[in-house]
Structure formats: structure tokens, C-alpha cells
Amino acid sequence: MNRRKMALPVALVGTLVLAISGCSSGDSGGGSGDPNAEFEFWSFTGIGQKDSVDRYLEKNPDAKVKLSEVGSTTETATALTAALAGGRVPDLVMIQTDDLPKFVENPGNFVDLRTLGGDDIADGYLDWAIGEATAEDGSIIGIPTDVGGLSFAYRADLFEAAGLPTDPAEVAEMWSTWDDFIEMGKKYTEATGEPFVDNVETTVFFSTVNQVSQKYYSPDGELIYDTNPEVEEAFDIAVRAYDAGISAGIAAWSSGSAPGRANGAFAVTTAPSWMLSGIENDAPDTAGDWRIASIPGVGGNWGGSVIAIPARAKNPEAAWQYIDTMLSPEGQVEHFATTGTFPAAKAALESDEVREYTNPFYGDSPVGAIISDSVLEFNSFLNGPDTGAIGAAMLNVLVDMEAGNVSSSDAWSKALDSAKVAING
């Protein structure tokens, strides 16, 4: 999942890395060959990985797992980078997909999981999801834990008051293109005097830019963020939504985001699968008022993770047993039913348990079918080592635009300048 990356002071991050990686560089890997040997698992904080470990131990009472919730996604990647440079590595580690490209560039740092699971290991997962963890030499360094299929959450009660349709299928048809979406927003704002969307940087730009056939890199790894018309068009859609006056300018995870969800400060927000529970937690009194619909255009994805085994892991066989058990289609369906984490295994996405899933908080919208279709229709594109930095730079310019610090006419050129700085330092 592309979870919120909560920044810690640099000094604290450094202390965290040192504490985890230690000073030992003598790990030789190989392991005991015992699938029930104790293995160390590094995960992110705030995603309830302990629940998965507990379920694994129920299935395998003889297994032993030492779970370390390292920190945010970025902090976990930083700690792993330090460990791979000579520190003590874990046996199993979760890597968020935004951080994955720089690790895939050096596949020798990880066990090629085909050696543990067979040459056909990739067949069970979405092609683009397993592709993100596949190196140029064909080695697979990670198995997808989940994906972040895109949808939009909207307030049906507010739509009804504005004279707009409320049924998810009718809403999806009315905003089937991004131009339609902006026009629908204008109708809502004209009828109510209130903003339609929370913001344009995540709800619009992060949706549009994840629907392209090529993003910031060409298929052969060339940087094209500044020449790719698909990226410019995605950015322009966000600018046009801002110019239409339909945005509340409330940034995701800002102090106004949770209250805005609760008090109707906006009617629509982006809802990748991992964000659904956050909306419920932020606005419990609005249960039944929200609905889920597919986003304009083709499907999309924002987020996801893989689990990898470092090459110097002491007990790779035990780590693999965890992957084989918990990331199988059956394991991912079970995890979805328990946590709502959306599967990356194709059989799980096609299962009745996932496709027929509804949620009363969202008015029993067909959540499972909508998000399954989103990731199944998602265009595959290459993410490179600076994909995350480029995306963040462009997003921040849109935040500045909404704050009145950048004009809409200058936003694209500012975004290119900002991305260049982010890449070159």
C-alpha cells in the first residue's frame, strides 16, 4: 500500500537505522534449511502486520517469527538500504512499491524467489504487480502483498441535495471522462455553493497520472517526465479542475482532511483501497452517506507492497514458508476479509469473496467489484528509481497552486523545474 509517509526528524531516522542495522556484517545467509526456524520480519508501522503474523502462527504453531515494525514506508526502506550496505539484514522485509525500483536495480542483494517457489511463481499475480519486483535478468525479488486499486468515495446525501444521481453506476456513467467529471463538479458547486472535491493534487492528479501507458520513464528506462504528453495532460486535468473552482484545497492528511470528510466540506475524495478504512475512522457519523464508484477513464492503482528475502538472510526457507502461506491466493483472500487489504493474486481478485464484497458504511456499494475491475484494467508502465521523487515534486507544486503561491498558468513549468531539482538534488 502507498501509505502515508510520516516524516521523522533526520536525527531520529538515523538513530532508528543504526539501531536496526547494528554493526554486524558477518551474516552469510544460507540458513538452517528449517522452515520453522525463527525468522526476523521487518514491516511498516500502522498496517496491522501483527494480525497477519498471528494468523500465520495459528496455521503453523511450530513457526517462530520476530516482527519488527520499523517505521513508515520511507524509514523502512532507509533502514533496509543501510542493512544491505553491510549491516544485519532481516530474513523478510516489506518494501513499498514507490521505494522498490532502487532495490530491483540490484537484485543480487535479494534471494531470487524463483529458486524457492519455482519458475512459474509469477503466474499467480497481476502481471504489472509482479513485474515491478522483477529485475532485468528475470529474477524476482519480491512477492506482491497487495495493490491500491483506485475508486472515488462520494457523499450520496450531498449529491442528492445538489440534484445529482446517487447510484454508483449512474455516477460512474455521468463522470465517465475527466471532462465530464469537471463539468459534474461545476454543477455541484453551482447548486450548493460548496466545493466538489477535497483537492486536485491527490484526488485528480494522482488518479490521472496513474492511468497513463507511459509515466515518468519510457519502457527502456529513459526519463521522459518532461516530454511525455500523457503526464502533461494528467497534470493539466488537475489544473483545469482547480481553475473550474470545484476544489476545497484541503490537502490529504492535512489538519482539515478528517473534519472535511465528517462535515461535508467536500463531496468527493480519492479512495484507493487502503484509504477506505481511513474514511470510516475519520467520519464515523456519516456511515451510510458515502458511496464508492469507479473513477473516470480507465482503472488505476495507487500503492502496494512486496515482501522480499535479502540474500544474506539467515533463514530464507522459514521466510519463504511465510510468503507461501500468507501471500497465496487463499491467504490474500483471508487477509482481505480480515483487514480490507486488496489482493494482488489474480485468483483472489476473481474470487466471490472479493468481487461480491460490499460495505454498509458505503451504502453497500459494490466495492469489491469496482476495485477489482480498477486494477484489472490498469495500464502497466515502468516505474524507475526517481518515480516517487518526481511525483512528489509535481504534487507539491499543485499544493502550492491551491495555496495561491503558484498561478495555474505557471504550474506546469514550475512542476518540471521542481522535478528536475528532485532528481538532481
Q: What is the mean pLDDT of residues 180-186?
A: 98
Q: Do 287 and 310 belong together in one domain?
A: no
Give dist(CA 315, CA 129) in Å, integer. Answer: 26
Q: Do 307 and 322 belong together in one domain?
A: yes
pLDDT at 413 over 60: yes
Give dist(CA 48, CA 66) in Å, integer. Answer: 15
Q: What is the CATH number of the domain that holds 89?
A: 3.40.190.10
Q: pLDDT tens for residues 379-392?
A: 789 999 999 999 99
φ, ψ dihedrals at 147, nearest 5°: -130, 170
Q: Do 403 and 320 belong together in one domain?
A: no
Has residue 356 been placed in a domain?
Answer: no
Q: Do 413 and 387 belong together in one domain?
A: yes
Give dist(CA 146, CA 273) in Å, integer. Answer: 10
Give dist(CA 256, CA 339) in Å, integer. Answer: 26
Q: Give the three-state DSSP class for 336.
A: helix
Higher pLDDT, 179 or 118: 179
- Residues 144/344, Cβ–Cβ less than 8 Å: yes
122: confidence class by pLDDT, cuts 50, 70, 90: very high
Range of the domain at 51: 10-147+303-349
Has residue 354 been placed in a domain?
Answer: no
Q: pLDDT tens for residues 337-396?
A: 888 889 999 999 999 999 999 999 999 999 999 999 999 988 789 999 999 999 999 999
- The pLDDT of residue 1 is 35
Q: Do 141 and 161 belong together in one domain?
A: no
- The pLDDT of residue 143 is 96
Give dist(CA 201, CA 398) in Å, integer. Answer: 6
- The pLDDT of residue 24 is 34
- The pLDDT of residue 58 is 95
Give the other-Cβ count within 10 Å of 179's Cβ: 12
Q: Do 164 and 190 belong together in one domain?
A: yes
Has residue 358 been placed in a domain?
Answer: no
Q: Do 161 and 235 belong together in one domain?
A: yes
Q: What is the mean pLDDT of residues 170-198?
A: 98
The mean predicted confidence, pLDDT, of the chain is 90
Q: pLDDT tens for residues 33-49?
A: 788 899 999 999 877 78
Q: What is the mean pLDDT of residues 82-91?
A: 95
